[in-house]
Amino acid sequence: MVMVVSVKVGQKPVLHTVENSLEALQKEVGGFIQMVPVLPPFVDLVCNEEGMFAGPNGGPLPANSCGILGDFLFVAHDSNGEMRSLTIEEVGQIYWWHRDHQNDIHPMFE
């Protein structure tokens, strides 16, 4: 198990644990994953790779307050690329990042 920060559409970020596996990440975001580095060098945002097409009738998933389509989470990895638990400092950085991006709008909805 690893500590992550999860953000569900319409909800605030939540610190919790998930299994350290691809399947667990896919379950969290509801499909294939895409990892985006947001707090280099070790913190990534994990979202649904097919967010534009995974919603009702093949449309986009609902956007959350940061402009990301669908649920997403933040994970950490070590220098070898292996997933690990977030540190307290990283969790603090994530909450600041989320706060600073609260009103971002997905380009599709501009």
The structural domains of the chain, with segments of one domain joined by +, span 2-109
Reported as a single tens digit per residue, the pLDDT across 25-68 is 999 998 899 898 999 899 999 988 876 655 656 666 666 666 67
pLDDT of res. 107 = 54
pLDDT of res. 98 = 83
Q: Decide if 16 contacts 4 (C-beta within 8 A).
A: yes
Query: Quick check: 15 pLDDT over 90?
Result: yes
pLDDT of res. 88 = 96
Those residues with Cβ within 8 angstroms of residue 19's Cβ, 6 or more apart along the chain or in another chain: 1, 2
pLDDT of res. 71 = 86
Tell me the pTM: 0.83
Tell me how far CA of residue 68 lies from CA of 15, 34, 38, 96, in angstroms. Answer: 18, 12, 13, 16
